[in-house]
């Protein structure tokens, strides 16, 4: 049965019922986004879905987080080609607050050739049919949870059996991802720097070398490097310049 006939006959996935599965959030114990992905992979497969994805869009519609079990080659291509800006599913997800089906036929009719290209390439990896749930966030961001399959019948059968579970799963996932990102931001803002470390970062942000910073602070180059080693460790940064960028973003300098 096609999507239009399914919708016309009122066969939308069930959203809730008293004996709903997964009443407890399966992501609660996840302490990082990698673990969230592992749990989602296991749960989604038990519901009969081949692929899943979660896009987090900020208030300006920019993608800030992507979690998916799509083939690695397709994920890399999607991110490198910036397909988030062309993907019709992401476009609808930014504008709608209602769940929607998508496919590589009628769904694509209103879109440009460049947007259809995303779908045609995704089809090479077995991502042909899907169901997406836009979820409003706490600070204007939007989460877009999707399940996808290679065959239309497989998707419709799975949604008919567990559409209510998929909807709840999307809400639970979005809530946990926001909590983890918030906790990480809070942790970063709790970074405590000494007066010397702050001064080193300020000079580094101005582009000064180790020797120049040493001259400005009237200390040795070895002491400057000592401070930067401590700074990089505190920020978990790649190097001093990365630490300076993080410090600027946090408003520390």
List pLDDT tens digits, range 54-65. 988 766 666 667
Please give the pLDDT value at position 182: 66
What tokens appear for 76 in the block? 């890399």
List pLDDT tens digits, range 43-52. 777 777 788 8
Whether the model clears a pTM of 0.95, i.e. scores above it, the answer is no
List pLDDT tens digits, range 210-236. 999 999 999 999 999 999 999 988 887
| Side-chain half-sphere CA neighbours of 11 within 13 A | 14
Q: Terminus-to-terminus CA distance in the chain, angstroms?
A: 60
**Domains of the chain, CATH where assigned:** 3-186 (3.30.450.80), 191-249 (1.10.10.10)
List pLDDT tens digits, range 2-24. 444 443 333 444 433 434 444 57
Neighbours of 87 (CB within 10 A): 21
Pairwise CA distance, residues 221 & 82, whole Å = 42
List pLDDT tens digits, range 153-186. 988 888 888 888 888 888 888 888 877 876 655 5
Give the strands of the sheet with 51-57, arranged side by side: 63-68, 51-57, 142-149, 129-136, 100-102
Q: Which residue has the tokens 């959203």?
A: 15
List pLDDT tens digits, range 144-153. 999 998 899 9
Reduced to 3 states, what is the DSSP secondary structure of residue 176?
Answer: helix
Pairwise CA distance, residues 88 & 241, whole Å = 37
Pairwise CA distance, residues 129 & 70, whole Å = 13
Could you tell me if 27 and 173 are in contact, meaning their C-beta atoms sit under 8 angstroms apart?
yes
């Amino acid at each position: 049965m096609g999507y239009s006939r399914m919708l016309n006959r009122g066969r939308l996935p069930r959203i809730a019922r008293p004996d709903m599965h997964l009443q407890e959030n399966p992501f609660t114990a996840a302490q990082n986004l990698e673990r969230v992905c592992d749990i989602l992979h296991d749960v989604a497969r038990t519901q009969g879905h081949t692929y899943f994805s979660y896009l987090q869009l900020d208030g300006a519609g920019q993608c800030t987080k992507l979690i998916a079990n799509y083939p690695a080659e397709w994920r890399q291509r999607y991110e490198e080609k910036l397909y988030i800006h062309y993907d019709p599913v992401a476009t609808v997800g930014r504008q709608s607050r209602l769940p929607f089906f998508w496919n590589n036929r009628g769904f694509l009719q209103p879109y440009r050739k460049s947007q259809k290209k995303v779908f045609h390439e995704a089809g090479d990896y077995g991502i042909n049919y899907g169901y997406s749930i836009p979820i409003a966030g706490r600070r204007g961001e939007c989460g877009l949870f999707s399940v996808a399959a290679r065959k239309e019948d497989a998707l419709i059968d799975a949604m008919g059996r567990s559409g209510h579970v998929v909807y709840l799963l999307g809400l639970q996932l979005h809530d946990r991802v926001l909590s983890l990102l918030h906790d990480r931001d809070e942790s970063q803002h709790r970074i405590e720097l000494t007066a010397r470390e702050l001064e080193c970062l300020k000079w580094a942000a101005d582009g000064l070398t180790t020797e120049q910073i040493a001259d400005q602070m009237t200390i040795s180059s070895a002491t400057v490097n000592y401070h930067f080693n401590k700074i990089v460790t505190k920020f978990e940064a790649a190097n001093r310049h990365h630490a300076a960028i993080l410090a600027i973003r946090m408003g520390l300098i």
